Structure 1
Amino acid sequence: MNTKTVLLGKTYQFQDLKEIMAKANEEKSGDQLAGISAQDAKERIAAKYILADLTLSDIRSNPLLSPEQDEVSRVIDEGINERIYSEIKNWTIAELREYLLSSIIGDSEIKRISRGLTSEMIAAVTKIMTNLDLIQAAAKIEVTTHCNATIGQKGILSGRAQPNHPRDNLTGIKASLYEALSYGIGDAVIGINPVIDMVDSVKDILSLTKEVMTKWDIPTQNCVLAHVTTQMKAIRNGAPADMIFQSIAGTELGNKAFGIDEDLLNEADELIRKEGTAPGPNLWYFETGQGSELSGEAHHGIDQVTLESRCYGLARKYNPFIVNTVVGFIGPEYLYDTKQVTRAGLEDHFMGKMHLLPMGVDVCYTNHIKADQNDMDNLSLLLGAAGVNFIIGVPMADDCMLNYQSTSYHDIATLREVLKLRPAPAFEQWLEKMGIMEHGRLTKAAGDPTMFM
């Protein structure tokens, strides 16, 4: 494997694939914090130049974290279709990029070759793509999933209703949920982040959301984003959960920091299939985000884009209903400003879709990052063009429980109108029945939650 190149008369020699992958990354404050980033633009270009000429077999033959050391690596490697891999293993990363961007290559061809790609291969091609490349390639890929209802079809933009409350007050959650529904948001999931990670609280919130869904005959699914073990206890205690949730990392050590491993995920998967309240077959909700492994000192010197791609390699084992990256949530230590958040959002969406995942994005930022709401509007529009499956909706784009800025219920409605996108079909039929939408557009009644009271 070649690790050296000459650029403008200067020789660049890299130690190994791990260093090439890290230094080929677009600038990220997390990589700088880890001490693995390129020193300047010239070194970054040199690393990209070498990476582009490496083959897929070079990537697989030089594991950044071996399957013998790490169960995430093992899950990724065992999930590869060896026949397809053997057909494409001599492609260079540059040739993979050209294939993905070719005007004669579409959804079915990309889906086929994706089964022969490791997460590291997908991360590698991401590093030599522009933002527009990431949008163009991702927009070709349609990933549909079914829990209680189906989302992900071409021309559909779904929304997660996130009616969080700083005290898990059920009346407050219900009021926020009714506002979301009045704007046509909630077809991806009614998903609440609980303040109190306790069985009784999780069960109460699941029961509330299921009661609203049943009373108003809403074709959607519910989920409470507590730790997976708390959800499992609640489900065994009779809580009506359509899906089960967990945040995941790209290394075994990172997942241990989250209090999970593959065995626990397997146990949860079996439980939700036996005792969950949705027919499925897609019954998982995973969340990710660049930088989590570094924050948990579990990155093994691997860059944050590659680690994020490895999250998706783990997630695809469980055929989830939805996955989203919480792109700007961790803070400026990992994504410093608008430019880095925008790039990460497009990278994560593309890599998720290349793993054939139903990919969404929480288009968000913390108050101490160099970004504002206009930046979130811009990224939302780019993701809408890229065919994102869903984004998050919170009241006025300000989550009063998690204390971060995201996108609002009416932002999602606006994106649908501007980009000529629709809610999930069954959900749109329900909206028409309720008088909230007509012929794909919101009516005068939209935005008034008192219709549910």
Structure 2
Amino acid sequence: MSATSPRARHTIDLGGTRWAFDDLKTLLARATPLRSGDQLAGLAADTAVERMAAQMLLADLPLSTFLDEAVVPYEDCEVTRAIIDDHDPAAFAPIRSLTVGAFREWLLGPEATPEALAALRPGLTPEMVAAVSKIMRLQDLIAVAAKARVTTAFRTTLGLPGRLATRLQPNHPTDDDRGIAAALFDGLITGAGDAVVGVNPATDGVDDYIRICSLMEEVRLKLEVPMQHCCLGHVTTAIEAIGRGAPVDLVFQSIAGSEAANRGFGVDLALLAEAQEAALALGRGTAGTDVMYFETGQGSALSADAHHGVDQQTMEARAYAVARRFRPLLVNTVVGFIGPEYLYDGKQITRAGLEDHFCGKLLGLPMGVDVCYTNHADADQDDMDALLTLLVQAGVTFVITVPGADDVMLNYQSLSYHDALYIRELTGRRHAPEFEAWLVKVGLIDQAGRLADANAAAALRPALGLIRGGA
């Protein structure tokens, strides 16, 4: 859209047209690589030329602009207040004079070492990292994210160089104990589960939550697996379950990039702090004390009509400001889960996954990705193979794996346990060290990390058979 409004703050002549953008959030939206969610919201550039004009203007924008102009008003949103109040001027000082484009060059250069990136984190806002991602190619997103190091721990240590963890997701349509246990066992014998064993419950009742946590705890104790588990019920359910003595390792919650969107999830920052305090009080971690698990996804704020006219990728990055307040063990974007209304096809899903990973890592989060799509999206498992391979090269902390890549409860397509075997063999990525030691001890892998034969798996079956009357 061309504009000649005298109040437009950002203007450029390109292709014989003067392009004008009235404010920062409009500029960010028009500069965003094409995705269906921004089109749905009426925020996307109408043409490739308009997008290029916005990207050129964005590249010349000083980074300090993001400290002076909020895309969601400070007084209207506690997420904005967290972003501004938590900002560290001293950490920002080394790059304060840079534009967005110069920041891209700095990130790709030799000065952006893992140590320098770690020191910079408190000085970065989500809008800064979202902005620079919009003018990056995929290889740029991969190259910079691969340099970022974020390490967390509970019973396993995640994010170490040369390592890749997986979430084992043994969902069941009716939360049946034997069905969950069978899928869990199937994952363990292929080496899945070092990030977390996480069940999405079909219901959100406290009794079912406690039953599922107790089942996973029984598996952990009987097989002596150094793993953390999580029932992905609502945070209030987790708090009540903790109060009733449930064996809760991690507290889970979906979060978004605005106060209004989080209100739609039934949470605010105070409630998340209460949940973190409750989980920490249990003292269940052995390798560390990171107890929170957050899930995000581009389009969540838009789907709740709580995006404040901000593009979905910038809103996604703002969710990471919520997450980093609570030292999470795990954060993952469910990149293709919300549907083609927000990310239409494999190309858009691939770019969004790499953007989310890049932005989360720069902001200091242990980023994982659910490499996934819904059955009505224009995507397939070839797209997921490609995104998985790119993410692992970018240093992703963990990916989600389900039996046969088909989640029978949530009805979407993700990665299989065997997809993780493929990428480990291809790249040499090892498991989390504590989990790897257990796999070697029970004979499921050899010292080089290669999967052993089926006899080792069979040796575990009698122990598992004691759980809930057999699996």
Question: 1:18–1:276: structure 2 CA closer, same or farther, 3 Å change rule?
Answer: same
**Conservation of the 8 A alpha-carbon contact between 1:235 and 1:276:** no
Within a 5 Å distance, the mapping from 1:218-237 to structure 2 comes to 218-237=225-244
Within-5 A mapping of 1:48-447: 48-275=55-282, 277-279=284-286, 280-438=288-446, 439-445=448-454
Cα distance, 1:446 vs structure 2 = 8.0
Give, in whole Å, the separation in 2 of the partners of 1:15 and 1:104: 35
In the alignment, the residues of structure 1 paired with residue 309 and residue 455 of structure 2 have an alpha-carbon distance, to the nearest angstrom, of 50
Q: Following TM superposition, by how much is the alpha carbon of 1:452 offset from its aligned partner in structure 2, in angstroms?
A: 2.4
Tell me the number of residue pairs that the alignment of Structure 1 and Structure 2 aligns.
Answer: 453
CA contact (8 A) 2:223 2:460 kept: no
Counterpart Cα distance in 1 of 2:433 and 2:80: 37
Residue type of the alignment partner of 1:219: P
Q: Match of 2:185, as an amino acid?
A: Y
Secondary structure, counterpart of 2:74 in structure 1: coil
Deviation of the 1:84 alpha carbon:
2.0
SS at match of 1:259: coil
Distance apart, 1:113 and its partner CA = 1.6
TM-superposed CA distance for 1:443, in Å, is 1.2
Tell me which of 435, 438, 460 is aligned to 1:451: 460
Deviations 1:32-84 (A, max 9, x none): 00001000100000000000001111122111112211000111112211212
Question: How far 1:90 sits from its partner (Å)?
Answer: 2.0
Find the counterpart in structure 2 of residue 33 from structure 1.
40
**What per-residue deviation string (whole Å, max 9, x for no partner) do you get for residues 399-450 of structure 1?**
0000000000111111111111010111111001111101111112289567
Unmatched tracts of structure 2, length 5 or more? 1-7, 463-471
Decide whether the 8 Å contact of 1:242 with 1:283 is kept in 2.
yes
Residue 87 of structure 1, CA deviation: 3.8
Q: CA deviation at 1:275?
A: 2.7
Distance in 1, matches of 2:423 and 2:93, equals: 42
Aligned equivalents of 1:446, 1:242: Cα separation in 2: 31
2:12 match: secondary structure: strand
| Preserved contact between residue 2 and residue 50 of structure 1 (Cα < 8 Å) | no
CA contact (8 A) 1:289 1:326 kept: yes
- Any idea what SS the aligned residue of 2:248 has? coil
Alpha-carbon distance between aligned partners in 2 of 1:97 and 1:243, rounded to the nearest angstrom = 35
Letter in 1 for 2:222: K
Which AA in structure 2 matches 1:390? F
Mean alpha-carbon deviation: is it higher for 442-451 or for 403-412? Answer: 442-451
The SS at the match of 1:187 is coil
Q: Is the 8 A contact 1:183 1:447 kept in 2?
A: no
Deviation at 1:160, TM superposition (A): 0.3
Q: Deviations over 1:301-323 (max 9, x none)?
A: 00001000000011000010000
Superposed CA offset, 1:190-219 (max 9, x none)? 100000101110101111111111111111
Matched position secondary structure for 1:392 = strand
CA contact (8 A) 1:416 1:422 kept: yes
Structure 1: tracts of 5 or more residues without a match: none
Q: Out of 14, 28, 37, which is 1:7 matched to?
A: 14
**Aligned-partner Cα distance in 1 for 2:78–2:130:** 19
Indicate the percent of aligned positions where both proteins have the same amino acid.
51
2:5 aligns with none
The CA distance in 1 between the partners of 2:212 and 2:84, in whole Å, is 38
Query: Is the 2:405–2:414 Cα contact (8 Å) retained in structure 1?
Result: yes
Distance in 2 (CA, whole Å) between partners of 1:304 and 1:60 is 20
Whether the 8 Å CA contact 1:323–1:359 is kept in 2: the answer is: yes
Paired with 1:445 and 1:156, the residues of 2 have a C-alpha distance of 24
Q: Which runs of 4+ in 1 moved over 4 A?
A: 446-450
Q: Which amino acid aligns with 1:47?
A: A
Partners of 1:276 and 1:8 in 2: how far apart?
Answer: 62
Structure 1 counterpart of 2:433, one-letter code: P
SS of residue matched to 1:4: strand
Q: Are the structure 2 counterparts of residues 197 and 446 from structure 1 closer, same or farther at C-alpha, using a change threshold of 3 Å?
A: farther
Counterpart amino acid of residue 358 in structure 1:
P
Counterpart-to-counterpart distance in 2, 1:304 and 1:450: 48
- Single out whichever of 12-21 and 271-280 deviates more from structure 2: 271-280
| Distance in 2 separating the partners of 1:114 and 1:199 | 37
Q: Helix, strand or coil: the match of 2:374?
A: coil
> Which residue does 2:29 correspond to in 1?
22
Kindly indicate whether the alpha-carbon contact (under 8 Å) linking 1:101 and 1:133 is maintained by their aligned counterparts in 2: yes
Using the alignment, how far apart are the partners of 2:450 and 2:269 within structure 1? 44
Report the Cα offset of residue 8 of structure 1: 2.5
Distance (whole Å) between structure 2 residues aligned to residue 452 and residue 79 of structure 1: 50
Q: Is the Cα–Cα contact under 8 Å of residues 272 and 283 in structure 1 kept in the other structure? A: yes
TM-score by length of 1: 0.98
Q: For residues 181 and 283 of structure 2, what CA distance do their matches in structure 1 show?
A: 22
Deviation at 1:114, TM superposition (A): 2.1
Kindly provide the amino acid, as one letter, of the partner of residue 139 in structure 2: L
Q: Letter of the 2:81 partner, please give it.
A: R
